[in-house]
Every structure is written in structure tokens, then in C-alpha cells.
């Protein structure tokens, strides 16, 4: 552990062992912060750059009090029980998802309040938008003010909605300055790419990288469901800008470049240079269409993500195929 000097700006990242948290720690370190990371585990893909990393369970109040033992200039609460469609939409993990994530948010936010910490960032998700506004794949409505009457299509989305309200209630009643973002499908290197919790971009890269030339990859659904995907660096940029702004949110942090899932698959196939077919099979899906609506973020922050999907997918594909080769070589050597 590196001790901080009084002049250092300090940040706490809850969920620092995860995908976005790992990238966020790197960015905060590059900005000169003293950073404490907290998670159940270390990140499996990259060594942490945090000055101090506490391994423990944020569902435990005593642990939360121990890691929030001083005022931090910035707190980022990203820890959640989450995964891709194969984890969130099967129904098998609903009780855990709701109980674990809500408990983490209740504990972390209250501990921040008791330490008189003002600025807390909370990562909600586009999964909280009503299902009935996302039935038309060509015209999904994800404007921030379309959230109510609420009707998310998963318990994951309901928990996010509850926690958004919790953070904003602490602003109203306890004079805090929490900031709430609704992330839309974040992807990039150093994220989960196998094991069941991976999301569509990473799963697609893995399937394509592992498929023999001339073969086929399986894609869930009819492939016409639409989504947008945001590269992790732009997600971090939006996160920092929001936390340091006067706008409490909730606000979308996502890309407006909407593609069908089959188009995403075709993009990855093209990046690989392989000749592969697509086999659409039944699978857990989520809503029919979803795209970020960036009017509010542009208005309030004067900024919105702009990087083309193909650029981020190229970096991600190269990283995942490298990881697959590395695993393969390790297996051969042992």
C-alpha cells in the first residue's frame, strides 16, 4: 500500500476488480489521484494500479465502514452482481442480483453520508428503461424522461431503478451531490470474455476468434435485435465529466451508433479476415431494440461519445484473440 500525502486528491473505486472499475483506476492514477480500490477479487486480466486495494464484501457493513474510513474527494460505486444476457435474463439469478446489488448500494451510500463525503458516482444501466418503449428494433425510445411509468424487462433493471432513486434521495435529504449515469453496453479490452458473464461484443469476438476458417458462429435470436455499444475509454470520460459537473442526472452514457446483432457479428468477422457464416439460434435476449439517446448529455455536459464502433471492436478483438492464444500456449506448455 502506498500512503497518500495530504496534497493528493483521493478517490475510492468500488468494483475496482471489475471491467470498468479497472479502467477507471488507471485513468484516475494517470490524473494523479491516490486511489483505493475495493472488490471481492482482483481483476483477472490486468494488475491493479490502485495505491491500496481492499479485498472484501461490500454487502458487509463492517467492511464498508472500514474502507470508507476517511473523506474521499471522489467515490465511484460500480460494484454490482451482474453479467450479460446469459446471466441477467434467465431468471435463475434474480434473487442474488436484487439482494446483492441493493445491499451494496445501501451500505456504500450511507457510509459515504456518515463520512460527510459529497461526490458519489453511481452506475445505473439502460436496462432500467421500460420494455414497452423498446419493442421496435428500428425506433427504441431511451430518452431519460421515458423511464416512467417504469417497466424494466429484468430484475437487474428494477434494482438499478431503485438504487438511482436512493442516490437522488440522499441528494435531496442529506445535501449530497451524487451523480447517476445510465450506461449502455460498455465494451473493450480487459473485460470478461468467457464463462457465462460476458456480454455480446466480447462473446462475439471469442466465437469468431475460435471458429475455424470456413465455419460458422452461433448468434442468439434472429439477429435483428438492435443495440449500441460504447467503448470503455469513452465511458470513463463521460463518468468523470458527469461526477465533476453540476448535473446530477440520471443521464445516458452510451453510443448512438445502433447496429443489429448480426451486423455486430459481421463486423467482427470482417475484422478477423476469416470466412465465417452466422447461425441464429434461440437464446436469452432482452429487449428488441435499444440505442442511447444523447441529447441530454450533450445539453448538460456539452459532450457526447463519438468514437466509431469499428475502432473499439478492432482493439477488443485483437485483445481477446491474444488472450485465447495465450491460454492455448499455456495449456500446451503445461
Return the range that interacts with ligand NAD (CB under 6 A); candidates 76-84, 109-117, 216-224, 242-250: 76-84
Judge contact between 128 and 162, C-beta under 8 A.
no
186 binds ligand NAD (CB under 6 A): yes
Catalytic residue among 156, 167, 170, 317: 156
94 binds ligand NAD (CB under 6 A): no
* Exposure string over 108-140, b if 16+ CB within 10 A, otherwise e: bbbbbbeeebbbbbbbbbbbbbbbebbeebeeb
Residue 206 CB, shortest distance to ligand NAD, in Å, is 16
Nearer to ligand NAD, 8 or 110 (CB): 110
Phi and psi at 17, nearest 5°, equal -85, -5
Alpha-carbon gap, residue 117 to 111, rounded angstroms = 9
Return the range that interacts with ligand NAD (CB under 6 A); candidates 34-42, 217-225, 295-303, 312-320: 34-42
N residues, the chain:
334
Q: Which of 48, 93, 100, 226 binds ligand NAD (CB under 6 A)?
A: 100
Residue 155 CB, shortest distance to ligand NAD, in Å, is 13
Q: Is 285 exposed, middle or buried (0-12, 13-18, 19+ CB in 10 A)?
A: middle
Cell output for 269: 468477422
Selection from 141, 124, 114, 121 nearest residue 247 by Cα = 121
Nearer to ligand NAD, 51 or 190 (CB): 190
Q: Looking only at residues 189 through 228 of this chain, which bind ligand NAD when binding is defined by CB under 6 A?
A: 199
Alpha-carbon gap, residue 298 to 307, rounded angstroms = 15
Q: Which of 67, 79, 211, 269 binds ligand NAD (CB under 6 A)?
A: 79
Cell output for 44: 483477472
DSSP string covering 299-314: HHHS------HHHHHH
109 binds ligand NAD (CB under 6 A): no
13 binds ligand NAD (CB under 6 A): no
Examine the residue annotation and report whether 156 is marked as an active-site residue of this protein: yes
Nearer to ligand NAD, 163 or 321 (CB): 163
Residue 123 CB, shortest distance to ligand NAD, in Å, is 4
Nearer to ligand NAD, 19 or 167 (CB): 19
For residue 205, the number of C-alpha atoms closer than 13 Å in the C-beta half-sphere is: 27
Nearer to ligand NAD, 179 or 199 (CB): 199
Alpha-carbon gap, residue 237 to 321, rounded angstroms = 26
Nearer to ligand NAD, 8 or 237 (CB): 237
Binding mask 49-68 for ligand NAD (x = CB under 6 A): --------xxx---------
Size of the site for ligand NAD (CB under 6 A): 25
Q: Which of 80, 200, 211, 309 binds ligand NAD (CB under 6 A)?
A: 80
Please identify the residue of the shown chain whose CB is closest to the bound ligand NAD: 18
Contacts of 308 (CB under 8 A, 6+ apart): 257
Alpha-carbon gap, residue 28 to 64, rounded angstroms = 21
Q: Looking only at residues 111 through 140 of this chain, which bind ligand NAD when binding is defined by CB under 6 A?
A: 123, 125
Tell me the catalytic residues.
156
Amino acid at each position: 500500500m502506498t500512503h497518500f500525502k495530504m496534497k493528493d486528491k483521493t478517490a475510492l473505486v468500488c468494483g475496482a476488480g471489475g471491467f470498468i472499475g479497472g479502467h477507471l483506476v488507471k485513468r484516475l492514477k494517470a490524473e494523479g489521484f491516490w486511489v483505493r480500490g475495493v472488490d471481492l477479487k482482483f481483476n483477472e486480466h490486468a494488475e491493479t494500479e490502485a495505491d491500496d486495494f481492499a479485498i472484501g464484501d461490500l454487502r458487509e457493513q463492517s467492511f464498508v465502514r472500514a474502507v470508507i474510513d476517511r473523506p474521499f474527494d471522489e467515490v465511484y460505486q460500480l460494484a454490482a452482481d451482474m453479467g450479460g444476457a446469459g446471466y441477467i435474463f434467465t431468471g435463475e439469478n434474480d434473487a442474488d442480483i436484487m439482494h446483492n446489488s441493493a445491499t451494496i448500494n445501501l451500505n456504500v451510500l450511507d457510509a459515504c453520508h456518515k463520512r460527510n463525503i459529497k461526490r458519489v458516482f453511481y452506475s445505473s444501466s439502460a436496462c432500467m428503461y421500460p420494455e414497452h418503449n423498446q419493442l421496435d428494433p428500428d425506433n427504441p425510445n431511451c430518452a431519460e424522461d421515458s423511464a416512467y411509468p417504469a417497466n424494466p424487462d429484468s430484475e437487474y433493471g428494477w434494482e438499478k431503478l431503485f438504487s438511482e432513486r436512493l442516490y437522488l434521495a440522499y441528494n435531496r435529504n442529506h445535501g449530497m451531490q451524487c451523480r447517476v449515469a445510465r450506461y449502455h453496453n460498455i465494451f473493450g479490452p480487459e473485460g470478461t470474455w468467457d464463462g457465462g458473464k460476458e456480454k455480446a461484443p466480447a462473446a462475439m469476438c471469442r466465437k469468431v476468434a475460435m471458429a475455424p476458417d470456413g465455419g460458422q458462429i452461433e448468434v442468439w435470436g434472429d439477429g435483428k435485435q438492435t443495440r449500441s455499444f460504447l467503448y470503455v475509454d469513452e465511458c470513463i470520460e463521460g463518468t468523470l465529466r458527469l461526477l465533476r459537473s453540476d448535473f446530477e442526472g440520471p443521464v445516458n452514457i452510451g453510443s448512438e451508433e445502433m447496429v443489429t446483432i448480426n451486423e455486430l457479428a459481421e463486423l467482427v468477422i470482417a475484422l478477423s479476415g476469416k470466412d465465417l457464416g452466422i447461425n441464429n439460434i434461440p437464446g436469452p435476449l432482452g429487449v428488441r431494440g435499444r440505442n442511447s439517446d444523447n441529447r441530454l448529455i450533450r445539453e448538460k455536459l456539452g459532450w457526447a461519445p463519438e468514437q466509431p464502433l469499428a475502432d473499439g471492436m478492432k482493439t477488443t478483438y485483437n485483445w481477446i484473440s491474444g488472450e485465447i492464444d495465450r491460454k492455448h500456449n499455456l495449456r500446451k506448455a503445461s
